[in-house]
Amino acid sequence: MRFFRVLGVPLVEVYGLTESTGMVTGHKLDDVQVGTVGVPTSGVELRIAKGSDDDLGGEFQIKGDMVFAGYYKNPEATAQSIVDGWLHTGDVVRLVDGQIKIVDRLKDIMITAGGKNLTPSEIENTMKASPYIKECIVVAEGRHLPGGRAAAAAMDPRELLYWGVMSLAITVGFFTAYPMNWWLVSKGLKHGLMTVHEPADTSGHGGMAMPGHAGHMA
């Protein structure tokens, strides 16, 4: 978004969902805060449910004529989504200088062994900001890990190759000289999150896989 605005394109962000029948928050053209989705539109009442971690935020709930009547032939799901006229969006938000910032989906929020709430998307996006990391996913499934977190990252082989050549580093298969790669592999092997295996054909390299998932990274 910053990129387009620097070019002179007046890009703004808005927020809405199917259950709200369209947009319910948005930036004002003269008050754009990058990273937020603006302020409520006309006729929208909002509240942020108090969570266990005020720094993280709480569930975004809205009320008004824009809230849908309910799910077709599914009264149980409707009763869970609309309580006393308030639509529970399932999104965790917080206020930043009076504007709404989307944090993550409520069901994806992780609680560490120390009781700290963490949002996977902020961790994932921070890691993916590195040119050497193509994809990253953070999950929490009750694994016995320090802090209760697990992460898997897919390195971009083209960026790693370029980095290796430019730095005169020697690379062997997946285990590149990039320090983060070694750290992830060592942690994954130690805690049983991934295993090293040989591919069926002899032309490939050794790979790394998550338990229960097919395929490998080479």
Can you give the residue ranges of every domain in the chain? 2-106, 110-209
State pLDDT tens for residues 141-151: 665 444 445 55
pLDDT at 174: 44
CATH architecture of 2-106: Roll (2.30)
pLDDT at 66 over 60: yes
pLDDT at 181 over 70: no
| Percentage of the residues of the chain whose pLDDT score is greater than 90 | 37
pTM, to two decimals:
0.60
Residue 82 to residue 70: CA distance in whole angstroms: 8
Run of H or E residues at 111: strand 110-111
Nearest to 40 by CA among 59, 58, 16: 16
Residue 129 to residue 195: CA distance in whole angstroms: 26
Sign of CA dihedral 147, 152, 156, 160: positive
> How does the average pLDDT of the chain come out, rounded?
74
List Cβ neighbours of 13 (8 Å cut-off, separation of 6 or more): 1, 26, 27, 36, 37, 38
